[in-house]
Amino acid sequence: MKVVLEVTFRMGGVNFRGTRWEDGNLVFEFERLGDAFIQVLSNQRVEVEVDKVPQKVLVELKTKEGGKAFEAFEREGKYLAAEP
């Protein structure tokens, strides 16, 4: 099955690194590691093929300051999330 994630970040410079499974949840990994970023909303769409339906879809964003994780919600067959 295909999982589609559309996520909005508060700043540019975000790169998609991959996915992993964690306790039945599908985690999309992103990172923003540079020093200067454009203060503009940045949208990304990622599609991955998986073998099972995830319990939850999570977004993990790693930054120089550490990182944060937030949950996506499903709407009309795709998952939507926004950086808090």
Kindly report, residue by residue over 47-72, the tens digit of the pLDDT: 999 999 999 999 999 988 889 999 99
Report the distance separating Cα 30 and Cα 74, nearest Å: 19
- What does the buried/exposed string (b/e) look like for 2-28 if buried means 16 or more CB atoms within 10 Å of the residue's CB? ebebbbebebeebeeeebeeeeeebbb
Are 53 and 1 contacting, i.e. CB atoms less than 8 angstroms apart?
yes
Q: Which domain holds residue 14?
A: 2-82
Report the predicted TM-score, pTM, of the whole model to 2 decimal places.
0.92
Token pair, residue 79, equals 């998952």
pLDDT band at 80 (very low <50, low <70, confident <90, very high): very high
Whether 36 shows a pLDDT value over 70: the answer reads: no
The residue ranking higher by pLDDT, 27 or 35, is: 27
Q: How many domains does the chain have?
A: 1
What is the reported pLDDT for 37?
Answer: 64
Residue 44 region by backbone torsions, left for phi larger than 0, else alpha for psi between -120 and 50, else beta: beta
Check whether 35 has a pLDDT greater than 90: no
